[in-house]
Amino acid sequence: MTDSQPAWPVPLRPELRSERPYGAPQLDVPILLNVNENPYQPSADVVSDIAAAVAAAATTLNRYPDRDFLALRADLAGYLRAESGVDLAAQNMWAANGSNEVMAHIFGAFGGPGRTALSFAPTYSMYAEYARDSHTDWMVGQRDGSFAIDPAVAARTITDVQPSIILLTSPNNPTGTALEPEVLRAVLAAAAKVRVDDAPAVVVVDEAYAEFRREGVPSALELLGDYPNLIVTRTMSKAFAAAGLRLGYAAADPRVVDCLQIVRLPYHLSAITQAAARAALRHQSELLSKVADLRAERDALVSWLRGRRLDGKPLTVADSDANFVYFGLFPDRHAVWQGLLDRGVLIREVGPDGWLRVSVGTPAETEAFKQALIEVAGI
């Protein structure tokens, strides 16, 4: 380097210089169980309906799309009304390119310099990045040994930290843990007493995997009517088997939705996305038809893993309300991950040391995973 060459050739923000883009390894292997996708492809009927809807939208591609996408928002409200029995209208709904982008809107509107977002670790690692990108301070409280949140600890932490955003994930990624209703109540009560610019904290419940929850586990949607500061996010990427579509959404008080609109980019949802999402929603019963199978497959996988022993001790397996299973504890989890990959099975090395996460696939994929794990880990 000469004196005339700057140390850094472009003015990347200093705090980003050591950062890497987020993402699991994208590898071309036969068995992909690493990003919690739904393994079932859409049927020929669904494909042709989506294609027809996209073709119709393409005839007016010279025009910008409907910026407020009210028809799609009405369809999403209709889906949630049917799924949860909660009375929601288009004005309660927001959507973006994946729930990741919805979350970025939430941070854009309610985070910012001098403010703090709070969550409970281990949890979805993207949250810290939304905080970083919106110049919001990031704080995590800890979950207990079974990955649950203690309501008293949560309430105390909220009082101490005075966050403007509290993020809860139910079921949690990577652990699969559903949020206990009393935890949500305690968090909402503590959030109501926070004062950031004279307002309470917003409480975001990320329900990306909610459709996979076990019988009797409630959705936070049921509390929306009582709490104008509650936001529930969902996605079409998981249960809907439409990860490639990039459509995530939120349900909230219309005043919250008005705030999110302020920070969205103009026309952020393309006409193609809107048309494809609406067509997919028309086929919701078919697209969601594998959810019951995946839940049964998940429960069977949890039982199977609990029956295996490593060095004489049973494997530790977290309860799961999602379409993935978190298990361990491996003295060298990377070696297990690599051994599975060498056998064509890609899973995820994520969260606390010793643990691995596997998505629930088709029965054949699960079988391949089990065989590979027996070989690699000697369980």
Q: Contact residues for ligand PMP (CB under 6 A)? A: 36, 98-100, 124, 169, 173, 206, 208, 235, 237, 243, 248
Q: How many CB atoms lie within 10 A of CB 65?
A: 19
**Rounded Cα gap, residues 375 and 209, in angstroms:** 30
CA 38 to chain centre: 13
Helical residues (DSSP H) of the chain, grouped into ranges: 44-58, 70-84, 99-110, 126-133, 151-161, 181-193, 254-263, 271-282, 284-287, 291-306, 333-342, 363-377
Shortest spacing between CB 127 and ligand PMP, in angstroms: 9
Is 24 or 192 the residue whose CB approaches ligand PMP more closely?
Answer: 24
**Residue 316, CA distances (Å) to 33, 231, 367 in order:** 19, 33, 20
Q: CB of 274: closest distance to ligand PMP in angstroms?
A: 16
Residue closer to ligand PMP by CB (options 100, 379) is 100
> Per residue in 120-140, is it b (16+ CB within 10 Å) or e — as a string?
bbbbbebbbbbbbebebbbbb
Q: Which residue is nearest to ligand PMP (CB)?
A: 98
Distance, C-alpha 199 to centroid of its chain: 26
Q: Which is nearer to ligand PMP, 136 or 379 (CB)?
A: 136
Q: Which is nearer to ligand PMP, 208 or 317 (CB)?
A: 208
Task: Name, in order, each residue with C-beta under 8 angstroms of 93's C-beta and a sequence gap of 6 or more.
Answer: 73, 74, 76, 77, 80, 249, 250, 251, 257
Task: Give residue for tokens 């060459």.
Answer: 5
Specify the residue, 94 or 124, whose C-beta has the smaller distance to ligand PMP: 124
For the chain, helix, strand, coil in percent to 5 are 40, 15, 40
Judged by beta carbon, residue 173 or residue 320, the one nearer ligand PMP is 173
The CB-of-248 to ligand PMP minimum distance in angstroms stands at 4
- DSSP for 321-374, please give it: SSSEEEEE--TTHHHHHHHHHHTTEE-B--SSTT-EEEE---HHHHHHHHHHHH
Nearer to ligand PMP, 164 or 323 (CB): 323
> What's the min distance (Å) between Cβ of 76 and ligand PMP?
13
Sole residue written with tokens 């139910």: 170
Q: Give min distance, CB of 308 to ligand PMP, in A.
A: 26
Cβ proximity to ligand PMP: between 36 and 157 the closer is 36
State in angstroms the smallest separation of the CB of 277 from ligand PMP: 12
CB of 124 to ligand PMP, least distance (A): 4
CB of 245 to ligand PMP, least distance (A): 9
Q: How far is CA 58 from CA 50, 213, 265, in A?
A: 12, 37, 21
